Amino acid sequence: MTPDLPPPVTPGEQPPAAPSGLMARFRKYFLTGLVVAGPIAITFYLTWWFVTWVDGLVRPFVPIAYRPETYLPFGLPGSGLIVAVIALTLLGFLTANLIGRTLVDLGEKILGRIPAVRAIYRGLKQVFETLFSGHGSSFRRVGLVEFPSPGMWSIVLISQSPSPEVSRSLPGQEEHISVFLPCAPNPTTGFFFYVPKSKIIEVEMSTEDAATLIMSAGVVQPGSDPQKKVAALAGMANAARAANSARPLQPQPAKVE
């Protein structure tokens, strides 16, 4: 006897509705709770990982007499992070005066004489000065470019204009600008390229909203209500589950003995 198979879904026909009942409501509430608790749990995990990582780097440089666990029966997470923040602030204060500036210049001259280290240090210094300066505009503007083909638009983060050497090598007389195109769902990877300014449509959107839009693959739209965001994510999960359950089963061929 052959098992009763569900009728296949013909093109244009709506798939059967998701089953209703106690189990359906349980799955819906479970997915909604997962959507709410998942980002919170991952955020706490990443924060804890960062704090413990900084503690592991700083603790060897702190004398044992000044460590909290010397006087407490347990360790104090975050103590290394506090020491690092105070040390960096003190370093910035010392660098602001003449003596500190002289020492920093001397250290940079020493690093500049090492061929392999010189390029790495100068590149990283420029990146940090650009990202953490309060006056820079790199990656603070969001735009749209036609990518990967005409009619398809992608979100990019607008950076700086190319250097004179690169500008002279670019074809045409139009001014270009460098942009970074993040990939979904991991915005830390992507594509970097130069594009004419006339080909960029600047969008009134913060970089945080752009990153959220990319990581959610368009599910979480900027400015939407938080409850609607949760409902949209839960609805997407329910739709995927319903589509998988509506997929017709394929009969397995009989084994020939």
pTM, two decimal places: 0.51
| Cβ(146)–Cβ(152) below 8 Å | yes
Within this chain, do residues 34 and 127 fall inside the same structural domain, yes or no?
Answer: yes
Q: Quick check: is 69 in a domain?
A: yes
Same domain, yes or no, for 147 and 204?
yes
Say if 57 falls within a structural domain: yes
What is the rounded distance in angstroms from the CA atom of residue 35 to the CA atom of residue 29?
Answer: 10
Residue ending a domain, choose from 82, 111, 132: 132
Q: Rounded to whole angstroms, how far apart are CA atoms 35 and 33?
A: 5
Are the CB atoms for 159 and 131 separated by under 8 Å? no
152 and 201 inside one domain:
yes
124 and 28 in one domain? yes
**Considering the domain boundaries, does residue 87 fall inside one?**
yes
pLDDT at residue number 133: 58
Instruction: Say whether both 190 and 117 belong to one domain.
Output: no
77 contacts 55 by C-beta, under 8 angstroms? yes
Q: What is the tens place of the pLDDT at every residue in 13-38? A: 555 555 567 888 888 888 888 888 88
Does residue 173 sit in the same domain as residue 127?
no
Residues 167 and 102 in one domain: no
Tell me if 172 sits within 8 A of 199, measured CB to CB.
no
Instruction: Give the Cα separation of 167 and 223 in Å (integer).
Output: 37
Any idea which residue has 């979100």 for tokens?
155
Whether 240 maps to a domain, the answer reads: no
More confident residue, 2 or 194: 194
Confidence (pLDDT) at 255: 47
| DSSP letters for 160-211 | PPPPHHHHHHSSSSS-EEEEEEEPSS-TTSEEEEEEEGGG-EEES--HHHHH
Average pLDDT over residues 2-12: 51
Q: Confirm if 67 and 88 have CB atoms less than 8 A apart.
A: no
Task: Specify the amino acid at residue 50.
Answer: F
Same-domain check for residues 68 and 31: yes
The verdict on residue 174 lying in a domain is: yes
| Same-domain check for residues 122 and 162 | no
- Asked whether residue 14 is assigned to any structural domain, the reply reads no
- Tokens 């709410």 label which residue? 36
Same domain, 145 and 126: no
**Are both 41 and 110 inside the same structural domain?**
yes
Q: Does the pLDDT at position 241 exceed 80?
A: no
Distant-in-sequence, close-in-space partners of 108: CB < 8 Å, separation ≥ 6: 121
* Domain count of the fold of the chain: 2
pLDDT at 14: 54
Last residue of a domain, one of 73, 106, 132: 132
96 and 33 in one domain? yes
Residue 57 belongs to domain spanning? 23-132
Residue 38 lies in a domain: yes
pLDDT digits (tens, 9 = 90+) for 139-196: 678 889 988 888 888 888 888 888 888 888 888 778 888 888 888 877 778 888 888 8
User: Three-state SS for 153?
Assistant: strand
Contact (Cβ atoms closer than 8 angstroms) between residue 35 and residue 230: yes
- Identify the H or E element spanning 141: strand 141-146
Compute the distance between CA of residue 213 and CA of residue 223 in angstroms, rounded to an integer. 11
Place of tokens 């924060």: 47
Token pair belonging to 50:
């960062």
